[in-house]
Amino acid sequence: MPSDESIKTSTGVTTSRRTEPVSAEKAADDAYPTSSKYALELNNVEAFYGTFRAVAGVSLKIAPKSVTAFIGPSGCGKSTLLRVLNRMHETLPGTSVKGQTLLDGVDLYGPKVDPVRARRLVGMVFQKPNPFPTMSIFENVISGLRLGGVRSKSELESVAETSLRKAAIWDEVKDKLHQPGTSLSGGQQQRLCIARTIAVKPEIVLMDEPCSALDPLATLKVEELVRELAVDYTIVIVTHNMQQASRVSDTTAFFSMDEQRAGYLVEMDATSKIFTNPKESLTEGYIAGRFG
């Protein structure tokens, strides 16, 4: 009996818009041992810059096709943790990661995993829009496909259009696809970067404060977009804007720092619960302060 009701999972994480009954899921799990009912599952993940531990012992589970918000004070390791999820953290010299990160049940840091390919499954949208300045709008959108070896012109064109439509920017750019991506406004650039990210059909889209460089109107557009994208993608979004977290996310994870400045997960729950009735007083204090 498919239902649109929220289902409480064994860990207490509420996931919405799940349409399969639990029993069917269980069966699928048995048939495909590597496939998990979680898009992401972190067990005791730690991240280091040299000897400095920026993220300490984070365990959490993220349901597929949901929006998860990471919130917390500046420096508590939200960006670092996000970068662990697509193996970008290790591109900085001297960094290391401990613990287990399962992507759809597969160990993201397993010995057979190619980080370059893994990044195609876990796309990332950055704080500052970063279209490639020497590429046109079109080339920006298809840059990931080209990297993946797609050469067919018709396929590139159709994916470009679909992605730009999904990123709600098609109408604004359809007549100037061959102009530089940098000729767009900041908000348009960010939606172009989102289009570029989803063009390779990733499993997960990570967004690190994607609206912090945008004006309120552009922000609203990107927020709407995030909601629409959650139909197809699992989204993790870092934000300092509490209203934004409450507007776009299904689940919210609140992070804080210990005495050694190591970030840890305070609690993770349904967004409505975190914002109205959190378990931890730390969370309550932070949110109350933020809403002022």
Partner 1 sequence: MAFNITRSRSLLSPDRTFRAITLMAAVTTATILAIIFVVLALGSIPALTASSFVDFIGTNAGPIFGTVATALIAIAVAGPIGILAAVYLVEFAPKRLAVVLTFIVELIAAIPSVVFGLWAVNDLSIRLRDSVEWWIASTFGKFIPFLSEDSNNPAADSVFRAGFLVGIMIIPLVVALSREIIRAVPISLREGYIGMGATRWETIRHVVLPTARIGITGALMLALGRALGETIAVTMVIGGSNDVPGSLFQPGSTIATRIATTLPEANPDVKSVLIALGVILFFVSLGLSLAMRLAARQTAKITASVK
Ligand X SMILES: Nc1ncnc2c1ncn2[C@@H]1O[C@H](COP(=O)(O)OP(=O)(O)OP(=O)(O)O)[C@@H](O)[C@H]1O
Interface with ligand X (CB under 6 A): 49, 52, 54, 74-80, 92, 261, 263
DSSP per-residue letters across 169-225: -HHHHTT-TTSBGGGS-HHHHHHHHHHHHHTT--SEEEEESTTTTS-HHHHHHHHHH
86 belongs to the binding site for partner 1 (CB under 8 A):
yes
Site string for partner 1, 115-154 (x = CB under 8 A): -xx-xx--xx-x-xxxxxxx--------xx--xx------
- Nearest approach, Cβ of 5 to ligand X (angstroms)? 33
Amino acid at 8: K
Q: Which one, 214 or 265, has the nearer CB to partner 1?
A: 214
Closest CA to 271 of 254, 291, 292: 254
Distance of CA 155 to the CA centre of its chain: 26
Q: Which one, 77 or 187, has the nearer CB to partner 1?
A: 187
DSSP state of 153: H
Measured between its terminal Cα atoms, the distance across the chain in Å is 43
# residues contacting partner 1 (CB under 8 A): 32
Give the C-alpha separation, 9 to 106, whole Å: 20
Q: Which one, 84 or 193, has the nearer CB to partner 1?
A: 193
Give the C-alpha separation, 85 to 247, whole Å: 23
Q: Which one, 11 or 91, has the nearer CB to partner 1?
A: 91
210 belongs to the binding site for partner 1 (CB under 8 A):
no
Q: Which one, 73 or 180, has the nearer CB to ligand X?
A: 73
Closest CA to 287 of 139, 131, 99, 72: 72
Give the C-alpha separation, 188 to 175, whole Å: 14
Q: Could you tell me the two tokens for 152?
A: 């067919």
- Nearest approach, Cβ of 88 to ligand X (angstroms)? 11
The DSSP H or E segment spanning 86 is none
Rounded to 5, what percent of the chain is helix, strand, coil? 40, 25, 35
Q: Which one, 79 or 188, has the nearer CB to ligand X?
A: 79
Site string for partner 1, 34-53 (x = CB under 8 A): --------------------
Site string for partner 1, 152-191 (x = CB under 8 A): ----------------------------x-xx--x--x--
Contacting positions for partner 1 (CB under 8 A): 86, 88, 91, 93, 116-117, 119-120, 123-124, 126, 128-134, 143-144, 147-148, 180, 182-183, 186, 189, 193, 196-197, 200, 213
